[in-house]
Amino acid sequence: MRIGRISGFEVKVHWSTLVIFSLIVLSLATVQLPEDAPAYGEGAYWVAALVAGLVFYASLMAHEVSHAVMARREGIEVDSLTLWMLGGVASLHGEPRDPRGDLRIAGIGPAVSLALAVAFGLVAAAVGALGGPTIIQATFAWLAGINGILALFNLIPAAPLDGGRILRAILWRTRGDRTAAAVAATRAGELFGYLLVGMGIARLLFGVGFGGVWFILLGWFVLNAARAERAQVHVRDALGDLKVADVMTPAPVTAPAEITVASLLEDYVLRTRHSAFPLVDADGHPAGLVTLTQLRGVARDERDEVLVQAVACSRDDVATAHPDDPLLDVVTTLNRCGHGRVLVVDGGRVVGIVTPTDVARALDVATLDEPTIDVRDRPSIGGLLEPRSRG
């Protein structure tokens, strides 16, 4: 769900956030606050719990926004911020150019959480010192504690946590090899994931209750994210030097945007072997892209009336690139309209097309001498390459 914009970033909330929010409010209102600040009415606990839950999510958002703002300052485009069950994710389009940028983007999040912990702690202490309501003191104390935990947990040196990024930046700086540094950080992440799962199983076995499930879930997430990140590191390493022109299919068959679906099928689809056609307007300028999947969506008896451009990806929706663009920049746009195709445009003309197959083949060629590199999930290479900062 989109909920709005903060500092120019689109902010989204995953439905799973609501589940955790409810759990937090429930446990605060019925267990934590009545214990820490006894002798209030039930209503007071619920109001305080609700406020605490909202402020907690605002703190989480502040953490995520700080990553995004710092990334933007380092020249990296930021798509959106998403809150979900286990925290926040900032979708970054690109990677820091040097270890210093890497360190700044990763470090700012825990720093913000720590600053919030201190601020909330000071408020709690002040309320206590002035003899204010204990329920307010307890609420701020809880907010201080949870932000402190957030900061410390994220500082654990294991990718994909912020601490993993910090570890990567330090290794990158000391060893001078970004790929090796990133791989080491993901190995630490994997190890930490196993550790969490192990702790969860131990907790379940020795009967400490529901907390065990939580550890296993978190460990599983860290483990998978660390592995995905390692695959991503290898793909980036393999494709790093290639340009769009190196992998594109040059001079693709183009079709006019203003013909009907029936004539496109007859004159283009049945006469060529392609499954996607760049569209051009009357002047020969790029006007979009149509795929077989889109054409199949048009009922047989409507094909004579419906124009191709009505079902195709428009010029603005389809990903475009220049032949000299780095291939990596293009790969992160593969999930736009057109099932992974990118139009290559030069001087107002379509000069090529890049398909997921082209990218997969380039990857195969680039890793010919490195059989240990295994990138199984070919159709989602775009998703694989989408850099993310989790925290």
329-338: buried (b, 16+ CB within 10 Å) or exposed (e) per residue?
ebbbbbbbbb
Spatial separation of the C-alpha atoms in residues 147 and 121, rounded to whole Å: 10
Binding-site string for Zn ion from residue 139 to residue 168, where x marks contact by CB under 5 A and - marks none: -----------------------x------
Identified binder of Zn ion from the candidate list 53, 99, 109, 200, rule CB under 5 A: 109
Q: What is the per-residue DSSP string for 108-143?
A: HHHHHHHHHHHHHHHHHHHHHHTT--HHHHHHHHHH
Identified binder of Zn ion from the candidate list 96, 219, 288, 391, rule CB under 5 A: 391
**Residue 346: closest CA among 208, 245, 198, 235:** 245
By C-beta, is 154 or 355 nearer to Zn ion? Answer: 154
Number of residues that bind Zn ion (CB under 5 A): 3
CB of 112 to Zn ion, least distance (A): 9
Task: For residue 102, state whether it binds Zn ion (rule: CB under 5 A).
Answer: no
CB of 14 to Zn ion, least distance (A): 16
By C-beta, is 106 or 216 nearer to Zn ion? Answer: 106
Spatial separation of the C-alpha atoms in residues 65 and 70, rounded to whole Å: 8
Q: Cβ contacts of residue 226 below 8 Å, gap of 6+?
A: 158, 159, 160, 164, 186, 187, 188, 189, 190, 192, 193
Which residues does the annotation mark as catalytic? 64
Take residue 176 and report the two structure tokens written for it. Answer: 């001078």
Take residue 5 and report the two structure tokens written for it. Answer: 């914009």
CB of 107 to Zn ion, least distance (A): 9
315 with 231: CB under 8 angstroms? no
By C-beta, is 74 or 237 nearer to Zn ion? Answer: 74
Binding-site string for Zn ion from residue 62 to residue 101, where x marks contact by CB under 5 A and - marks none: ----------------------------------------
By C-beta, is 228 or 363 nearer to Zn ion? Answer: 228
CB of 61 to Zn ion, least distance (A): 11
CB of 304 to Zn ion, least distance (A): 55
By C-beta, is 28 or 78 nearer to Zn ion? Answer: 78
Q: In whole angstroms, what separates CA 66 from the centre of its chain?
A: 15
Task: For residue 107, state whether it binds Zn ion (rule: CB under 5 A).
Answer: no
**Residue 366: closest CA among 222, 243, 262:** 243
Residues forming contacts to Zn ion in the complex (CB under 5 A) are 109, 162, 391
